[in-house]
Amino acid sequence: MDRRNIALLTFILVLAALVTYVDLDIGHPAWVESLLFWRPEGARQIAIRYGLDLRGGLKVLLAADVPAGQEVDTVAMETARQIVENRVNGLGLTEPLVQAQGERRIIVELPGIEDPELAVETIRGTALLEFVDAGYMWLPEGVVIETTLGGPGGGGPTEEITPTVGLTPTVELSPTLELTATAPLTEAAPISPTAEITPTTGPHVYETILTGAGLKQVGLDRSQTNEYQIPFELYPEAAQTFAEYTASHVGQYLCIVLDKRVISCPVIREAIPNGRGTISLGNATYQEARNLAVQLHYGALPVPLRVETVSTVGPTLGELSVERSIRAGIIGLSVVLLFMLIYYRLPGALADLALLLYAGLNLALYKLVPVTLTLPGIAGFLLSAGMAVDANILVFERMKEELRTGRSLRAAIESGFERAWTSIRDSQISTLIVCAVLYFFGTNFGASMVKGFALTLAIGTVINLFTAVVATRTFIRTVFHLAGDWLRSRRWLLGV
């Protein structure tokens, strides 16, 4: 046996071992999973990722509700996406997904949701911007609170707000944000909260001073020290309320809350009489500053959103589908394995080995890349497995022909692979082209199921080139080398 074949065989065996290791559902150690460098940190698990149709959940497509043809501002769209994401996060689900799709659409996927109707309403509702009296307690960004205005606006369960993180503001925690009147700068040193705050238990209801409805204008500029700040202007009535409130609460915190979630908590440096003020942002980046400005500006969603499609799948239904697909797959592949074994005998058995490697490789790739499996995706995989033996069949039929014309065993094997190659290549290319067309079609939302099918079929086709040609040929050469003489007298084993 030549060295190249030995090297290939070794490679295939090592690959098979690796694939088996990845495919097995044993808890893979963390350091192994951390090797998946191409995936974002925190998402490096060796596990199959199921699509919504297989694990149950809700998928909503939102679109900017503007007349067709009208341009949609990309910044406004991104802000809308962020607002929707905040609301979705408020629902407390695992792995929600909020993604921009195209220029005017947002796709929301909520796996394993209990009450899809409520979720849809939460997502669509108008955002509520509030200025909230936080007293001397600084609230960290992202905390969900209850306010005196209406019910829990963020929808879903309002988290208990006992900000466990430093209730007594420490130096590190002391906020960098300050609220000042824009008029003459005061010399007063920043007032650090001195009051002793005892941790409260249970939810505290914060008083709403103003809502976003009172904001007339919001800007973004830089202070003399080159820090970002947001100047704002209030409508006269709101300005009146604001003046009275700030005058009596200097040194306390006024939190800006969007959908009951704290965006930032500046301290009141002085009374703001004329309704014009500035929020100093300390060392915030431009991105952060702009986000806050945009959110303030568009207290409500910057673009009206319309629900374009909704689809829900009950969780049990998804499980059932997975179970059935696995059963169908095992039965279907077993028949293929049996057929190859019976029809092509020894080469068939070797092709079966290659097919098992093929299935294992696919599964491993789904886990590692990861590929999100949907029901049509599984169908695509199974179909590609059924078609995978096509390459072997082409080779074996050629081999038989060559043997019948009286060629030696060795020459028949080699020329079988050689002469079948163009047919194999052509058929793989045409399948890949079909996949490409389907994938393009599937990027359309209403047809997103198609994408999963095209993807798994394409992956399968590429892997097939390796397993059906390289792996099978290596197996056959090895067997021929080890038992060639013995085979010559038992040609029925070759299916001739």
Partner 1 sequence: MFDIVEKRRWYFIGSGIVILLGIAAMLLSLVRFGTPVRLSIDFTGGSLFVFHFKGPASETAIQEVFAASGLGEAIVQRLGRPEENTWQVRTREAAPEQVQAILNGLEAEVAPVDRDLLTYETVSPIIGGEVTRAAGIAVAVASFIILAFIWWSFRRVPHAFRYGAAAIIAMLHDLLVALGFYALTGVLQGWEVDALFLTAILTVSGFSVQDTIVVFDRIRENLPRYRGEPFERVVNRSILETIHRSLATQLNAIFVMIAIILFGGATIRPFISTMLVGMLSGTYSSIFIAVPLVVVWELAAERRAAMATG
**Interface contacts to partner 1, rule CB under 8 A:** 53, 56, 61, 63, 117, 120-121, 124, 306-317, 320-321, 324-325, 327-329, 331-333, 335-336, 339-340, 343, 375-376, 379, 382-383, 385-387, 389-390, 393-394, 397, 401, 423, 426-427, 430-431, 433-434, 437-438, 440-442, 444-447, 449-450, 453-454, 457
What's the token pair of residue 279?
A: 């929020």
Q: How far is the CB of 434 from partner 1 (least distance, A)?
A: 4
Please identify, using beta-carbon distances, which residue of 128 and 457 lies nearer to partner 1: 457
| CB distance 36 to 44 below 8 Å | yes
Number of residues in the chain:
496
- Residue among 104 and 297 whose Cβ is closer to partner 1: 104
Confirm if 23 and 271 have CB atoms less than 8 A apart: no
Closest CB to partner 1 among residues 56, 135: 56
Kindly tell me which of 63 and 230 has the beta carbon lying closer to partner 1: 63
Which 3-state string (H, E, C) describes the chain?
A: CCHHHHHHHHHHHHHHHHHHHHHCCCCCCHHHHCCCCCCCCCCCCCCCEECHHHHCEEEEEEEECCCCCCCCCHHHHHHHHHHHHHHHHCCCCCCCEEEEECCCEEEEEEECCCCHHHHHHHHHCCCCEEEEECCCCCCCCCCECEECCCCCCCCCCCCCCCCCCCCCCCCCCCCCCEEEECCCCCCCCCCCCCCCCCCCCCCCEEEEEEEHHHEEEECCEECCCCCEEEEEEECHHHHHHHHHHHHHCCCCEEEEEECCEEEECCEECCCCCCCEEEEECCCCCHHHHHHHHHHHHCCCCCCCEEEEEEEEECHHHHHHHHHHHHHHHHHHHHHHHHHHHHHHHHHHHHHHHHHHHHHHHHHHHHHHCCCEECHHHHHHHHHHHHHHHHHHHHHHHHHHHHHHCCCCHHHHHHHHHHHHHHHHHHHHHHHHHHHHHHHHHHCCHHHHHHHHHHHHHHHHHHHHHHHHHHHHHHHHHHHHHHHHHHHHCCHHHHCC
Nearer to partner 1 (CB atom), residue 11 or residue 440: 440
Gap between the Cα atoms of 272 and 180, Å rounded: 7
State which residue, 280 or 448, has the beta carbon closest to partner 1: 448
Instruction: Give the integer Cα–Cα distance in Å for 429 and 432.
Output: 5
Shortest distance, position 387 Cβ to partner 1, whole Å: 6
Nearest approach in angstroms of CB 373 to partner 1 is 13
Q: What separation in angstroms does the CA of 135 have from each of 129, 196, 208, 336?
A: 18, 12, 12, 72
Question: Please, what is the minimum distance in Å from the beta carbon of residue 439 to partner 1?
Answer: 10
Smallest gap from residue 321 Cβ to partner 1 (A): 5
Q: Regarding beta strands 178-181 and 215-218, do their DSSP bridges make them parallel or antiparallel, or are they unpaired?
A: unpaired
Using the minimum distance from each CB to partner 1, give the nearer residue, 267 or 350.
Answer: 350
Q: Which is nearer to partner 1, 140 or 386 (CB)?
A: 386
Q: Considering the complex, what minimum distance in angstroms separates the CB of residue 96 from partner 1? A: 18
The answer to whether the peptide bond before residue 370 is cis (omega within 30 degrees of 0) is: yes
Smallest gap, in angstroms, from Cβ of residue 199 to partner 1? Answer: 39
Rounded least distance, CB 327 to partner 1, Å: 5
Residue (28 or 407) nearer to partner 1, CB: 407
As measured in angstroms, the least distance from the Cβ of 12 to partner 1 is 22
**CB-nearer residue toward partner 1: 274 or 312:** 312
Nearest distance in Å: CB 334, partner 1: 9
CB of 445 vs partner 1, minimal distance in Å:
6
Q: How far is the CB of 280 from partner 1 (least distance, A)?
A: 41
Nearer residue to partner 1 within complex by CB, 65 or 244: 65
Amino acid at 451: K
Toward partner 1, which CB reaches closer, 256 or 454?
454
